[in-house]
Homo-oligomer: A and B are copies of this chain.
Amino acid sequence: MNVTSKQIAELCGVTRGTVDRALNNRPGINPETRAKILRVAEELGYRPHFLAQSLVKGHTKTLGIVLFDIHNRIFSQLFHAFEAEARKRGYIVYLVLSNRNKELELEYINNLLDRRVDGIALLPANFNKKFESFLLRSRTPIVTFGNRLAGPFPYIWIDDKQAIRDSVAFLASRGYRHLFYVSPPLRRKGKENIYVPEQRYNGFVEACEAIPDMRFNVIAQKYYLDELNDLIEKTDGKRAILCSSDVYALEVLKWLKSRKIRVPEQIGLMGFDNIDVLNYVNPALTTVDYNVNAIGTGLADLLISRINEEEVPAETLIAHQVVPGESVSP
C-alpha cells in the first residue's frame, strides 16, 4: 500500500510532472506549490521508488557480506569495521551467515545476486572450479577474506603461515620442546575450503621441523580434548599446546582448569586471534594479534574500489604479532 506520485498529484490538484519537479528538487515550479507538495508527500509517507530507480541506474548502493557465523568474536569485530566503512561510503550492508555450509553459501550468494548487490565480500566455504566459475559468471565484484579461492578474486587477510612460524619460534624461545597443535578445521580437508587452517598447519610443521630437538603432534579431530588428554598423559618434558584459534584455546583452558592442570606451570598454552573476550580470562592467554579492524575496513575499501572498476592488489596482508600473556612460562 505505497503512496504514488499520482496520488500526491491528485490531492494537490497538480500534474504528476509538477510533483516530480517538487520531489526531485528541479526548477520550474513556484515555491508555495513545492512546499505544499512536499508537506503532503511527508504526511502520506511517500517514498521515491528506490527499487525502480535501481533498475534504471544499474546499482543499489548495497554490499553483501558472507560470514561463517558471528559466534566467533573475530567475525563480529570484522563485521563492525566493514559496516562502518561501507556506511561512510554510502553503502548499506546485508550480512548473511553460511554456517560453513556449502549449499547454504550458494543459496545465500544467489539471494544476494537476486537482490542486485553491487558487490560481495566473501569468506568462502566452497572451493572448487565450479564454484569459482559460478562467481565469475555473476559479473559481480567479489573480494575474499579468511579463505582463499584459486581464481582472480582479490584477497585480504594476514600471512597465516608466517604467524604460526612466529608462534612456534616464540614457544621455542621460551624453552618448549614438545608442541601439541590443535586445529579441528583440518579434518574437513577436501570437503570444504580450509585455506587458512592449511596455511597455519604448513607453517607449524615447517617451523617445528626446522628446530632439531622439537617434537610435535597435530590434533585435527572434533573431540580434540580426548586426544589431548592421551598425549599429555603419555608425554613429559616442557610441553605447550598451540591452538589455531582462541576459541579452541579457551575450551582447552577451561578443560585444563577442570583437570587441575596448572597453566603455565605444568603446560603452556597459546591461542590465535586475540579476540576481545581474552580481556576477562585468567591467566591472560598468549596469542597472535592482528588488526581485525584494518581487515574489515580494507575489505570494504577493496570491494568499493572493484565496484568503481579501479585496479586493486590481488593480495593485501595485514601485519600480525605475538602477544605474550601469562599462559606461557617466562
Contacts and interface: CB of A to CB of B under 8 A. Distances in A.
Contacts of A79: 70
A45 B115 contact: no
Copies of this chain, complex-wide, total: 2
Contacts of A280: 250, 253-254, 277, 280-281
A60 B138 contact: no
A113 B47 contact: yes
Contacts of A294: none
Interface in A70-120: 70-71, 76-77, 79-80, 83, 87, 92-97, 104, 108, 111-116
Contacts of A52: 55
Contact of A94 (B80, B95, B276): B95
B62 A71 contact: no
- Main SS at interface, chain A: helix
Contacts of A96: 83, 92-93
B51 A139 contact: no
A69 B73 CA distance: 12
Contacts of A30: none
Contacts of A62: 115
Contacts of A71: 76-77, 80, 276
A217 interface: no
Contacts of A138: 45, 47
Interface string A274-290: 00110111100000000
A137 B97 contact: no
Contacts of A254: 279-280
Contacts of A279: 250, 254
A54 interface: yes
Contacts of A77: 71
A115 B60 contact: yes
A94 B92 contact: yes
A137 B44 contact: yes
A116 B62 CA distance: 13
Interface in A14-44: 43-44
A172 to B, nearest CB: 27
A50 interface: yes
A87 B111 CA distance: 11
A2 interface: yes
A68 to B, nearest CB: 11
A150 interface: no
A58 to B, nearest CB: 8
Interface in A53-67: 54-55, 60, 62
23 contacts: A47-B113, A47-B138, A48-B114, A50-B114, A51-B55, A51-B114, A51-B116, A52-B55, A60-B115, A62-B115, A69-B80, A70-B70, A71-B80, A93-B94, A93-B95, A94-B95, A115-B115, A250-B279, A253-B280, A277-B277, A277-B280, A280-B281, A281-B281
